[in-house]
Amino acid sequence: DLSVVNPIETIAEDASGNLWFGGNDFLLRFDGKDFEQIFPTRTFRGPRVSRSSRVTPVGKSVSIQIDTKERLWFSDSRSTRRWDGSRLRRIRGATGFLEIEDKWGNLWFISEGRGIEQYDAELNPTSHNNANSRLGNDEIRTIFEAVDGKLWFGHNNGVTVFEPTPAVITHAGLGSSRIRTMYEDSRGYLWFSVSGHVARYDTKTGEITKASLRLGTVNRDGRRQQSEIVKIFEVGRDIWFINEPGSRGGSTRYTFFRYANGNYGHQISISIRTNIGPGGERSDSNTDVLVTEGEHPWMAFGGHLFKADATGLLWLTERGSQRILFEKIVERQSDTSVLEIEPGTTAITDLYRDSSDRLWVHFENGKVKRYPKSIDLIASTTQRVKPDELDLKATKLLTAMSNRKWFFNAVTGRLIYWNNIETGRPTVLGGEPTAAPLAVWQHPTQENDEITFLFSDVLKTYQGTRLDTVRDINKLAPINAAVASQDGILWLATSRGAVRYDGTTLTTYTTKEDGFLVDNVRDVIEDSRGNIWFATRGGGTVRYDGETFHNRTTKNGWAHNNISKILESSDKDIWFATEAGVTQYTPARGGLPECRIITLEADKSYTDFSSTLVLPARGTKIFDVRGISSLREGLSYEFKLIGLDTPGWTELSAVEFSRLSTGAGVLPDGWTPPATAGLANQQILGSHVTQSFQNQMGTLRIRYTGLKAGNYSFLIKAFRKNWPYTEPPAVVDFNIPPPFWTRWRTYLPTLIFITVVFTLIGRLVVNRRHTLQLRNEVRQREEAEMHRIRAELSEAQNIQMGLLPTEAPDTKGFDVAGMSVPATQVGGDFFDYLTVSNGQTAIAVADAAGKGLRGAMNAVLTNGMLYEVSRFESEAAVILSDLNTGLAPRMYGPSFIALNLAVLDETEKRVNYANGGQPYPVLKRGTDIIEIESGDLPLGSMKKVEYESTTFDLTEGDILIFHTDGLIEALNTEEEMYGTERLKESVSRIPDNFGAEATVQHIVNDVRDFVGEAEQYDDLTIVVIKRGADV
């Protein structure tokens, strides 16, 4: 009889089969025979305490939980206790309510006012301050662990997501300044260049130390100049830093810092004077410092060669060598300690070692020196090492393949190859001189002479005899970085995208669909797992896993989206130098695997799974799935088919997957039976449903047979070894409808509907025949009416065309020609030659608003009234003013007319001109093309308008062109206008010997060539006046 205790709120069963019953402030155990009171330990006496009188932390009820180590936890309003087999024990420091156990075995407690508490699988408290600081709220209500390992905390202010083991870390100890460069030394320390500082990161302890590097020279304000480190390298066990070379006062200063025995306080400064050549060329045009790799680094800058060692620099000269020692910065209070030297005779363009550890030095004039390995042992200033005499002229090394080396000579623009540098002679390729190739590609495994050079706009291949052009390519931008991957793919980082070349296809990736938010790519590397990483300016980083590009930005935890450099450290972490500090990415934490369902084979192949598929009932259903891991490791799988009677997860380990039989993959019925004894790759799921799977060249094939009608969802997840988290599962929803004969009730309404439809169709056919008869009668009447209208329009066109002059006026010293082309049968444009009251000749070019009959009627009205006004007036402005007064109340409909009027003075060879709303005339005078910018309102738009005229002389050979807007607004098939600028360009090409008629034809032909087959919607009228020679 349990009526004396508080209400039972939770029940659980432990691994031994005992049942546990819990309530507020009590816990009972039932072993199958008897109840035992575990808590409280004293026998219960007195009245029952109401549950509502207790205060439960953060709204939680009582719970009993059993963790993965089979430990039983009891949580109530007082605290959480663990059953140790004999009694309940409290966990020191744990005052909250056990909410969840994550997949690593960590226990998470929540308590009122204290946020969260975390204990590992051995019940040791772990740090939870980071989570509490990011939550911003102590009233946690619930915790949920997602499939990707993130923890979601529900609290009074909403929800917060927390990543217990983040893959992306931005190191606050480096600040938010721009990182210029990164370097990993031989002891595993990472070095970062920050403005004015360098920082060292200990990958084992996570400790960051910063040091301020300032130049030994002092500014006018008494402070030392701030450094900007651009290169970091190792000499012995010391770390060297190269400051950004700076030009000042006719020289370039190179400064080197050294970290040795925990001390940064030494530097060397060398100032190289700047010489100006006879052609203005400067000796400091290239201030880069070339540094070789290896145990004995050599440097080249300013045309000189230097060896770096434990004491400083050994300067190699023609007469021997000179020692330059490090000095303490405190001793360098002025520029007196700066060594000043003249630049070398010729700049050094390339510096490297060959496979025999000999030192090669290339000069700007094509000269090459090769020093023996013994040059590394030079220590005395009296020792001299003579370089080998080489019959080679080249400014840089392009690539080295076994014994063959490829060079380029920037002086001659030639490619050179040297088959055997020990016994042979270099060969210069013929052909036209070129710029240096941007990159070089050769197949990584095939041992042949074929090599491909990528130039800015063409691919060229050498196949043992000559250099052949493969094909032209879109112009490549300058290359910022390049890498040849393990599988022989050449990747280039350019300012206009990432470029991929596999020996056959050149592909550029620039768009968001490609995975790139911007196309400015600054760096590219291949990590030890075969992933390609790109650094972009403004678009974060992009990772290519062999199939897909994945973009990562500040939304994913990166410090900044401007990334300049990427480095993989020896512990296989990826480091990103950004504009706001450095970001560390740990692939072992962030490389969550994912599944991609490639195809679903049923009655056909399905690849689009964005919506529910409808599949036939008969036949098998085969899913082709591929697991993707950025760590390039074997994956295990978990998959299930929801919709079955027992939709449990099927687990397939990486070892089991590798041992699966390999299917042919051609036809679904060509399924291969198991080939490995003891490995079952076929299961019976429920009644008559069989599940089987295969390994087809790394692709998991899962087949289902015997599926009945219903709704199904196929889910599959991929997992790494010893890592419990993954990406959300890939899902395909599909439906198998039941057979037709089992659904007659479903289709009965459809059959009734079809019967009704056919009945309506019959009636529609009868009505349609009657309608066709009526349409034929209407069509016949319409055709008769159209015939009558065409006849009237044809007659109107004849009348309008009759208004145009049939011949040019007889004017002394002026050659006149004109042409008008209507856009429809009856247009609104016209031109005419008039005689004004003083006997001079006038030329009118008009454009009536409207087309067809309205435009023609307005044109006829204007033409008649123009003749009448011209009988009494001689000035162009007066004629337009009087004409406007007469036209305004008489225009046909709400309309107007634009009109140019020019009165020719044959004696003075002068033009009196007025413009009423027309485009400006164009005057060709020699090579000058001039627009006569004078104009007023169109005629008929307002009753009282006083027009103004302008008078100008025409000299011999001048051509004056009047036109309507139909010329400059003519459209081609691309809907581009002919325009005034194109007209001026056409007029400028008119030969001086062309008359007025030839000029008209020249302009009309140019417009027709531009228009092509495009239909025109405006009339085109043009009149040309050319001033002839005086007789």
Query: Residue 1016 domain-assigned?
Result: yes
Strand, coil or helix: 876: helix
Query: In which band, very low, low, confident or very high, does the pLDDT at 42 lie, cut at 50, 70 and 90?
Result: low
Note the pLDDT of residue 49.
40
Query: In which band, very low, low, confident or very high, does the pLDDT at 1031 lie, cut at 50, 70 and 90?
Result: low
Query: In which band, very low, low, confident or very high, does the pLDDT at 751 lie, cut at 50, 70 and 90?
Result: confident
Query: In which band, very low, low, confident or very high, does the pLDDT at 50 lie, cut at 50, 70 and 90?
Result: very low
Residue 119: give its domain's CATH number.
2.130.10.10
Q: Give the range among 123-127, 680-684, 688-692, 719-723 with minimum mean pLDDT.
A: 680-684
Does the pLDDT of residue 669 top 50, yes or no? no
Q: Which residue has the higher pLDDT, 481 or 46?
A: 481
Does the pLDDT of residue 676 top 50, yes or no? no
Note the pLDDT of residue 56.
42
**Number of Cβ within a 10 Å radius of residue 591:** 21
For 757-772, letters b (16+ CB in 10 Å) and e give: eeeeeeeeeeeeeeee
Asked if 322 and 383 touch (Cβ cutoff 8 Å), the reply is: no
pLDDT in tens, 996-1013: 999 999 999 999 999 998
Structure tokens given for 181? 């460069």
Residue 145's nearest CA partner among 200, 107, 171, 119 is 107
How far, in Å, are 477, 508, 539, 734 from residue 519 at the CA level?
Answer: 11, 10, 8, 39
Query: Residue 414 domain-assigned?
Result: no
Asked if 250 and 274 touch (Cβ cutoff 8 Å), the reply is: yes
Residue ending a domain, choose from 144, 169, 194: 169
Residue 8 CB-density burial (10 A; 0-12 exposed, 13-18 middle, 19+ buried):
middle
Residue ending a domain, choose from 117, 149, 169: 169
What letter does residue 426 receive in the DSSP assignment?
Answer: -
Query: Residue 248 domain-assigned?
Result: no
Specify the length of the chain in residues.
1031
β-sheet bridge partners, residue 198:
193, 211
pLDDT in tens, 843-893: 999 988 766 667 777 788 888 899 999 989 999 999 999 999 888 887 766
For the ranges 76-90, 171-185, 208-222, 955-969, the maximum mean pLDDT occurs at 955-969
Note the pLDDT of residue 665.
43
pLDDT in tens, 800-828: 676 688 888 988 889 999 998 877 556 67
Q: Which residue has the higher pLDDT, 434 or 539?
A: 539
Residues 728-757 have a mean pLDDT of 83
Q: Give the range among 328-337, 589-598, 849-858, 977-986 with minimum mean pLDDT.
A: 328-337
β-sheet bridge partners, residue 200:
191, 209
**Residue 878: which region, alpha, beta or left (left: phi > 0; alpha: psi -120 to 50)?**
alpha
Residues 698-709 have a mean pLDDT of 90
Residue 633: give its domain's CATH number.
2.60.40.10
Query: Do 788 and 835 share a domain, yes or no?
Result: no
Query: Do 794 and 847 share a domain, yes or no?
Result: no
Asked if 819 and 804 touch (Cβ cutoff 8 Å), the reply is: no
Query: Do 894 and 978 share a domain, yes or no?
Result: yes
Note the pLDDT of residue 977.
92
Residues 150-159 have a mean pLDDT of 86
Query: In which band, very low, low, confident or very high, does the pLDDT at 791 lie, cut at 50, 70 and 90?
Result: confident
Residues 786-799 have a mean pLDDT of 70
pLDDT in tens, 182-232: 999 999 999 999 888 899 999 888 889 988 887 766 555 556 678 899 999
What letter does residue 555 receive in the DSSP assignment?
Answer: G
Note the pLDDT of residue 30.
92
Query: Residue 945 domain-assigned?
Result: yes
Supply angle C-alpha 984, 986, 989, rounded to 5.
Answer: 110
Query: Do 708 and 855 share a domain, yes or no?
Result: no
Question: Which residues, at least 6 apart from 868, have a Cβ–Cβ distance to it below 8 Å?
Answer: none
Query: Residue 22 domain-assigned?
Result: yes
**Number of Cβ within a 10 Å radius of residue 586:** 16
**What is the overall mean pLDDT for the chain?**
85
Residue 894: give its domain's CATH number.
3.60.40.10
Query: Residue 429 domain-assigned?
Result: no
Query: Do 726 and 865 share a domain, yes or no?
Result: no
Query: Residue 748 domain-assigned?
Result: yes
Does the pLDDT of residue 437 top 80, yes or no? yes
Instruction: Give me the amino acid identity at 865.
Output: M
Residue 11's nearest CA partner among 54, 74, 55 is 74
DSSP H helices, 508-616, are 587-590
Q: Give the range among 639-653, 696-710, 849-863, 899-913 with minimum mean pLDDT.
A: 849-863
Asked if 633 and 720 touch (Cβ cutoff 8 Å), the reply is: yes
Query: Do 730 and 786 share a domain, yes or no?
Result: no
Query: Do 703 and 758 share a domain, yes or no?
Result: no
Q: Give the range among 6-15, 602-611, 683-692, 941-950 with minimum mean pLDDT.
A: 683-692
The backbone torsions φ and ψ at residue 783, rounded to the nearest 5 degrees and listed phi first, read -65, -40
Query: Residue 751 domain-assigned?
Result: yes
Supply angle C-alpha 814, 815, 816, rounded to 5.
Answer: 110
- Strands, sheet with 1020-1027, edge to edge from the N-terminal-most edge strand: 814-821, 1020-1027, 959-963, 922-925, 928-931
Strand, coil or helix: 40: coil
* Number of alpha helices (DSSP H) and beta strands (DSSP E) in the chain: 9, 78
For the chain, what percent of residues have pLDDT higher than 70? 88
Query: Do 42 and 132 share a domain, yes or no?
Result: yes
Query: Do 889 and 1014 share a domain, yes or no?
Result: yes
Question: Which residues, at least 6 apart from 700, have a Cβ–Cβ distance to it below 8 Å?
Answer: 624, 625, 626, 627, 637, 652, 657, 693, 694
Asked if 13 and 20 touch (Cβ cutoff 8 Å), the reply is: yes
pLDDT in tens, 509-551: 998 888 899 999 999 999 999 999 999 999 999 999 888 899 9
Query: In which band, very low, low, confident or very high, does the pLDDT at 913 lie, cut at 50, 70 and 90?
Result: very high
The total domain count for the chain is: 4
Does the pLDDT of residue 722 top 80, yes or no? yes
Residue ending a domain, choose from 723, 738, 753: 738
Rounded to an integer, what distance in angstroms lies between the CA atom of residue 489 and that of residue 256? 37
Rounded to an integer, what distance in angstroms lies between the CA atom of residue 171 and that of residue 277? 49
Which strand (E) or helix (H) includes residue 242?
strand 238-243
Rounded to an integer, what distance in angstroms lies between the CA atom of residue 799 and that of residue 827? 11
Does the pLDDT of residue 159 top 90, yes or no? no
Strand-strand pairing, 339-341 and 263-273: parallel
pTM of the model: 0.66
Query: Do 776 and 915 share a domain, yes or no?
Result: no
Note the pLDDT of residue 661.
66
Domain range enclosing 770 = 742-803
Query: Do 724 and 785 share a domain, yes or no?
Result: no
Does the pLDDT of residue 925 top 90, yes or no? yes
Does the pLDDT of residue 958 top 60, yes or no? yes
Rounded to an integer, what distance in angstroms lies between the CA atom of residue 939 and that of residue 845? 13
Residue 491's nearest CA partner among 462, 548, 533 is 533
Query: Do 16 and 63 share a domain, yes or no?
Result: yes
pLDDT in tens, 196-208: 889 999 988 888 9
Residue 81's nearest CA partner among 93, 90, 72 is 90
For the chain, what percent of residues have pLDDT higher than 90? 42
Asked if 652 and 692 touch (Cβ cutoff 8 Å), the reply is: no
Asked if 243 and 198 touch (Cβ cutoff 8 Å), the reply is: no
Note the pLDDT of residue 224.
63
Structure tokens given for 83? 């059953």
Strand, coil or helix: 858: helix
